[in-house]
Amino acid sequence: MGDSMSEIIEGSSVTITEIMDFLPHRYPFLLVDRVVEMNGEQSGVGIKNVTASEPWFTGHFPENPVFPGVLIIEAIAQVSAILVLQHAKDSGNPIETKLIYFMTVDKVRFRHPVTPGDQMRIQVTQIRRRGMAYKFKGEVYVDGQLMAEGEIMAVNHDPDA
């Protein structure tokens, strides 16, 4: 067996309380309810339960609510950031700033609409890392069906730099 940092630990997860320790986002912009799988900073799976009471559905769209695509991409970024921050903490090198900013969004495809009542399974895989810049591929599934996919690049921002 490899070291524990590079294995997916069955049953391991990051709870919403721990997520709020990692990310500065809060309702309604905290878009991850739990991380259910982690393989260091290399890959992981987050869960987002989509509810009818979310504020975007009043305008997107009142008669046919659809979870906004830009928020699906944000959820991919948030799961990716949680992996990076949890891995740094587990490695004994916690990242002081939790401000991770988008650099690029590429190859995005929306395959099917996500609607209230759906549970998004957000799978992310690191493509590469250069310093504090990370590129991840994300795929979002509902009931095993691919709903959206794309690549994001983000950088950890040091406000003192």
Annotated active-site positions, please?
60
Tally of helices (H runs) and strands (E runs) in the chain: 2, 6
Q: Which of 70, 97, 71 is nearest to 84 (CA)?
A: 97
C-alpha distances (whole Å) from 78 to each of 13, 63, 98, 161 are: 15, 29, 11, 23
Q: Which DSSP symbol is given to 5?
A: G
| Residue 79 φ/ψ, nearest 5 degrees | -60, -45
3-class DSSP state of 17 = helix
Q: Could you tell me if 52 and 65 are in contact, meaning their C-beta atoms sit under 8 angstroms apart?
A: yes
Which strands form 43-49's sheet, in the order they lie side by side?
34-39, 43-49, 119-130, 133-142, 145-156, 100-110
